[in-house]
Amino acid sequence: MCEAAEEDLYAVLGASPSDSVQQLRHRYQQLALQYHPDRLGGESSSEAESGVKKFLEVDAAWRILNDQNTRRQYDLQRRVRELKQDWPVDSTICLEDMTWEQG
């Protein structure tokens, strides 16, 4: 689960974290049919390779998100990454927005 944790698995499936398992399954099935290697047989080799890669990404995301326990672990790891971000949450800071007492 560590290697797939670097990318957003919900984005791979085109879903959001609030989606139900049924909604995730529906997105997975759509993408699996779209990128399945058997359906890409007539494509050029580079398109077929990228399709297979996308199919494997979609399959890996589904394997984690379809199980309640692994999905919960992934969501917790995702939240920890969000909380540990190194950059400012709001990079635009205006002195006019700040208030302070002069004394």
pLDDT in tens, 10-38: 999 999 999 999 999 999 999 999 988 88
Q: How far is CA 36 from CA 65, 70, 88, in A?
A: 19, 24, 40
Confidence of residue 96 (pLDDT cuts 50, 70, 90): confident
- Cα separation, 77 vs 30, in Å, equals 27
Return the sign of the alpha-carbon dihedral for residues 24, 6, 69, 80: negative
pLDDT in tens, 37-75: 888 776 678 888 888 899 999 999 999 999 999 999 999
Structure tokens, 42: 């007539």
Q: Residue 60 has what pLDDT?
A: 95
- Cα separation, 20 vs 26, in Å, equals 10
Is residue 1 within 8 Å of 9, Cβ to Cβ?
no
| Cα 58–chain centre separation | 10
